[in-house]
Amino acid sequence: MKWKLDRAVDLHKESPYTFYLPSDYVLNQLKAGDLVKLIFMAEETLDNGYEGERMWVEILERNGSEFRGKLMNKPHYLESLHYGDLIHFNLIHICDTQLDDPYAMDMDYYLEQKVTVSNDVLARNEFNLMLRFEPYDESDLGWVFFSGHEEDGFNADADHFQFISVGKMLNIDDSILAFINDTVPCAYERDRGTAKFVRIENYDWSIHA
């Protein structure tokens, strides 16, 4: 099965708040002997549905942004790859390292902090109403996201909602970072004219009692 390296930098651009990419601070330190993780993609989808594997490669040589390394894992699915194979790759292919990255703390927040999201938000890939209630626990930010298109009675069924990482919502619209820590309770709605979120000062919270 033929393979190619996925471009981690492109995956990060598509999902900047949920796909970790090592910072330049870390990438600039990489040298021979360090381990980096690359994404090896099958050129065709495998029979088991897998498209590729993430595996560690030991750097043998670095020349600017170009690297030569040795595969340090035994592939599970890509039969044309073997432990110890020489791999040529670029900085754009590196999705992880074993070096401490001080900038990874932000990614930890985006992945570990949770919000409640209606299934309609996920189906449409948009949200237009945000309500913040008292959080259930330390991982819960208390926010509930709505598309604004939910049908009557939708909110009464808990199965219509999911508890997911806030980073997934930030991938859709990261302007909410400006008020993500606003006081509880609070409500925000997207203005149809400007497409920006505005605070609802007189929201009727009694409908949620």
Query: Position 19: which residue type?
Result: F
**pLDDT tens by residue, 42-66:** 887 666 667 789 999 999 999 999 9
Q: Where along the chain do its domains lie?
A: 3-101, 113-208
Is there a contact between 41 and 89 (Cβ–Cβ < 8 Å)? no
Distances (CA, A) of 95 to 2, 65, 91, 198: 21, 14, 9, 36
Architecture per CATH, domain 3-101, reads as Roll (2.30)
- Model confidence at 163: pLDDT above 70: yes
What's residue 79's pLDDT?
87
Quick one: DSSP state of residue 153? T
User: Which residue, 152, 156, 160, 149, is CA-closest to 190?
Assistant: 149
| 134 contact partners, CB below 8 Å, separation of at least 6 | 142, 184, 185
**pLDDT tens by residue, 124-140:** 999 999 999 999 999 99
- Model confidence at 155: pLDDT above 90: no
- Model confidence at 209: pLDDT above 80: no
Cis peptide before 185 (omega within 30 of 0): yes
